[in-house]
Every structure is written in structure tokens, then in C-alpha cells.
Chains A and B, each alone.
Chain A
Amino acid sequence: MTTMSASTGAATSGIGVLRRIRPARIMLYGALVVGLIATLAPFAWMFLGSVKPTGEIVAYPSSWLPRSPTLDNFELLLAKQNFGLYFFNSTLVAVTCVMGNLLFCSMAGYAFAKMEFAGKRLLFGLVLTMLIIPGATTFVPLFVLVSNMGLSNSYLGLILPFLVTPLGVFLMRQFIHDIPDSLVEAARLDGAGETRIFLRVIVPLCRPPLATLAILTFLAQWNNFLWPLVIAQTEDHYTLPVALALFSVGANGTNYGLLLAGAVTVVTPILLLFLFLQRQFVQGIASTGIK
């Protein structure tokens, strides 16, 4: 009985009732485990399938565990399908966008939060408006614009439209706004320039929103596929999701082992990052509702 009360102690500490094992608790865990299986089964199927030879994947009735596990699919993916290059492209685009958002959005966020200047209200109003306009609305004209700039099928074309985001500025502005004015004023009275204040006072205090922004940007860009799909026209500019999407409708569409290995390659880096930074991921996405 004492161990039971310890394990449920947090919930009942208010009145200190000792709880017995009840059917309700078993049902609770039952429901959670069923949910867990339903959530993770597709992942399990993907990881297990990626180390099966194709013949085994399409065999019927199919089995979950690979009978003769092999890494052939991954070898083929790297050797014949250039997935190394796509991996590099994905990383380059995502990391550049993260750095751009961190730097430019925090600079603008600082100005919006702690400086008075002509045009501030209008500008910030425009930022807020853009927050609620869906991407589908601007997709066509953005494509026309980038094509007319001669940037289609280039890294710049992949990166520039996402180098800053209204969400980034909004996040940074909200956080910096809550930093006490006195800190900034004190530094100003001491004659520190704005650049110095920004680098020495603001940035060190902004670790939490910067982490959130970095994660949201990396996630969005790593998984972004519609924009790269229309911009990257030749293989040398494909990102991983583009390669996988085109791969699955092309001549290789029936090479299931290769497809699943490709899916694993796309998913694993972000899943690992998520496992290491789960708290920041969950808080970041929950606080903005956007991924």
C-alpha cells in the first residue's frame, strides 16, 4: 500500500487518500498503450521495412520483423541515388534559414520592442497581418517573382523567401518587450551604442526564444517540400523531401525497399534532434501552434 500511495502521491497529496489498484487505472494505461501503438506502428513499419529486401516487403502475408535484414537499400540510396547530395542541400538550406532568422529577426525584434521610430506601428501591423495569411495565397506570385529574378533552380531561390519570417520577428519582439526597460536605459545612459546593447545585453538574455525560433525554422525548412519542389528543377538542387517525393512517383516507385530507406533518411535526423531537444520542441510548437 505504501508504494502505491507513493506512486500516485502527486495527484492525491491534497487530502492524502491511499489508492488501491483500480480498474480505472488499468483502463487508463490500456488506452494510453493502444494510442502509443497506433502512433508508433507506422514508424516501426518504416524502420523495419527499410532493412528488408524488396521481395520481403511486398510478400503476402507480410511480416513485421525482417527475415534477412540487410543494409543494401541504404547503400543503393547513397551510391546510385545521390542522397548524400540531397542531404547536404537540405542541411544547407535549413541551417542558412535558421541563421538568417536568428540574426535578422532578433535585430528587428529589438528595434520593435525597445526603440521609438517613425513607421514602427505600420510596420509591426504589417508583420501581424502577414502572420495570418496562409502560404497558399502567396505561393503563385512568389513563384512568379523568384522566377523573374532568375533565381529558380538556385540555392538563393530556395533560401531567400524563408530567410526571415513574420513569426520570427513576432516571437523575438514579444520576448524582448518583456525585458525590463531599465536594463536597456542603463546601458544607453552609460553611452553604449545600440549595437553593443543588442549584442551584450539583449542577445544573452534571449536564449529561450532564439532556441524556439531555431527549432521552428529548422523543422519547417527540413520538412518543406512544396516550395523546393517547384524551385529545384534539376537534381543538383533537390532537397531530401523533393527527391523522395519525385522518387516515389517515378520509375523507382515500386522499389519499396529503396523508398522506405529514403523515408528513414528524411525522418531520422529530425527525430534525433527532437529526442535530444524534446522539451524545447514541444514548448516551441505549443506556444506558437505552428510547426
Chain B
Amino acid sequence: MTSVATVKSSSGRAAGPRRTGPPQAMSAHSRRTLVAWAFCAPFIALFATFGLWPVLSSLSMSVTDITSRDVRAPFSVDFVGLENYTTLFGDPTFLRAALNTLYFVVAGIPLTMIIALGLAVALNSGIQRAKGLFRVAYFAPVVTSIVAIAVVWRYLYEEDGMINSALAVVGIHGPDWLNDPNWSMPALILMAVWRHFGIPMVIFLAGLQSIPEELREAARIDGATRWRTFRSVTLPLLRPVTLVVAVLLSIGYLQFFEEPFVMTSGGPLDSTTSISYYAYEQFGFGNYGTASAASYVLVAAIALLSLVQFRIFRAKA
């Protein structure tokens, strides 16, 4: 409020603008547009160059036969229609990548949500002691660089590493996680869940805190067990929050890239190659057209999955 007062007191020298007639209003209008564009100018310049232009050019790349050799001679590029897309779906590696991405999403999202919700409920169940400590600790992986995480987790997953040592205590002989095609994906899913559950946990926690305690107390007075109260009172009221979490996670998890990039390079035997990783590889090979097409398949999948989730949750609500 003080700042407003400053503006008022210091503006005495200029006569304030009076209500103007139509001709001057026009010029005032265009002056305003000019001022507004001036305010937006730095943003627009950077956004158009490094945001919009790449999107437009990737769209056009996805329907041409452009490769890394054509970058400096764009006129030798031919329009090929949807050929890149048909090539994609004829490529076994891409199909494997699509399947792997599906595996990651179908296993990873529910697991992340259950852990996040479980911890959020535990944190919200009236405990006071060390609540802040728990919340900070659970959130720490979220802010940590994936490259540093990879350095550590590669040790943890070694055949005689910490995870298998822990399993040995309970008598389980653990696999060679990252080098076994059957276990590489579960290993990456576990790591991704560890890295990401903090975000949905905090969102769930906020949702739980907005549910009035009286509702749960009332159910309990009516004789409902804790579990029954959770299922019949808490969960239905959390539905909007659950939708937000599900959509956010699917957008993030469909773009599954960093874990295979730093941990397995998509291997062994393409068992952890995702769509994003496939696109990155094609980019590396110089097949810009194929790479762009693959990334638009991903955009379509993200849009589709988000839409389906909106439908499901809205139908139930």
C-alpha cells in the first residue's frame, strides 16, 4: 500500500488524463497497444525464436526427409507426407520403445500414486512429532540432479551392491539389476518412483488438509472403521486432486527419458529404450525427420491419456 501512496504523491506534476472523445481515444488505444507490446517485446522476441520457431520447424521436419546433412541446404529436403510416421510403426525398435514406455507408465504411475497417497495420509493423520522432517526428507529426491542420482544408484544396483545386500539379509538372491533385460525396467521404475513421489505426496497432502476433519469424525461416530472412512469419505473427496496428480504424472512419465539415458543407454537389448530415448537416438543418427515424428507420437499419446483421465474421473465425480 505504501507504494501506491508514493505513486499518488509523486504524480502531482503531470495533469492526469481527462476523459477523451472518440478521435483521441483511438490514438490512446493504439498508444496503449504500443506500450503493451513494448512490455512484451523481450519475451516475444525470445519466445518466438526459441519456443515457437522450433515447434513449427519440428512439425515440418516430421513430414520431410530431412537429415543432419540437409541442415545447411534446406532446399534439398523433400516433402514425404506421413512416411516418417509409417516408417516408425514399421520399426521394431520403435514398437519396443512404445511398449517399454507403456510398461513404465502402467507400472510407475499407480505405484507412485499409492506411495504418495499412503505417506500423505500418514503425515495427515494427526501426528505432530517430526512431521516437518518427514516432509522435507521425502521431498529431497525431487530437487536432486538426475546425474548425481545416477552415480549413486548405479552402485546401489550393482550385483553385490547395497540393494542386493539388503535383499540377502532376508534370504533373497537379487538379480544383476541393470544388466538383466527382465530386471532393468523394474530397476528404473523403482528409481523413478523414489525420485518423483515427493511431488504427488505434497499435492495429496494439500488435498487431505482441505477435507474437514468433522466429516471423518462423523463417519467414525456412525461406526465406520478407519479403512471404511478412508474408502467412503476421504477417497471420493480426493477425486479432483487425484485427477491432477494422474494427469501430471502421465505427462511426466510418458516423457520417460532421463533414467534410461543416465543408467542404461536404453539397454540391455533395448529393454529400457523409451519413445523419448528413441527420438534422441534418431536425432543422434541424424534422422531428424524420424526423430520429430517420434516426438509427435508422444505428444499425441500425452494428449490422449490426459483426455481419457479427464473422462474417467469426470464420469465418476
Contacts and interface: CB of A to CB of B under 8 A. Distances in A.
Nearest to B262: A245
Given A145-B49, A192-B11, 4 more contacts: A108-B42, A119-B33, A166-B51, A282-B139
Complex A-B, nearest 9 residue pairs according to Cβ-Cβ distance, in ascending order = A11-B126, A117-B36, A108-B43, A138-B54, A263-B148, A117-B33, A111-B39, A191-B14, A141-B54
B25 interface: no
B257 A14 contact: no
A42 B156 contact: yes
B160 A60 contact: yes
Contacts of B258: 226
A37 to B, nearest CB: 10
Contacts of B126: 8, 10-12
A285 B199 contact: yes
A144 B162 CA distance: 43
A77 B14 CA distance: 61
B142 interface: yes
Given A45-B155, A123-B40, A223 B145 contact: yes
Given A190-B16, A200-B3, A164 B57 contact: no
A137 B39 contact: no
Contacts of B6: 200
Contact of A45 (B51, B162, B199, B226): B162
A286 B210 CA distance: 15
A275 interface: yes
Contacts of B254: 134
A285 B201 CA distance: 11
A95 interface: no
- Majority-rule SS of A interface residues: helix
Given A136-B276, A148-B71, A271-B144, A14 B156 contact: no
B185 interface: no
A115 interface: yes
Q: Which bracket fits the contact residues of B? A: 35 or more
Nearest to B245: A289
A172 B229 CA distance: 40
Interface of B: 3-4, 6-8, 11, 14-17, 32-33, 35-37, 39-40, 42-44, 46-47, 49-55, 57-58, 61, 71-72, 115, 118-119, 122-123, 125-129, 134-153, 155-156, 160, 162, 165, 194, 199, 202-203, 206, 213-214, 217, 221, 226, 244, 248, 251, 254-255, 257-258, 261-262, 276, 279-280, 283, 288, 291-292, 295-296, 298-299, 302-303
Contacts of A205: 3
B63 to A, nearest CB: 13
Given A115-B32, A134-B299, A137-B292, A190 B11 contact: yes
Nearest to B299: A137
B61 A141 contact: yes
A120 interface: yes
A123 B44 contact: yes
A194 B33 CA distance: 12
Contacts of A12: 126
Contacts of A241: 145-148
Contacts of A219: 143
Nearest to A142: B54
Given A108-B40, A160-B50, A192-B11, A32 B156 contact: no
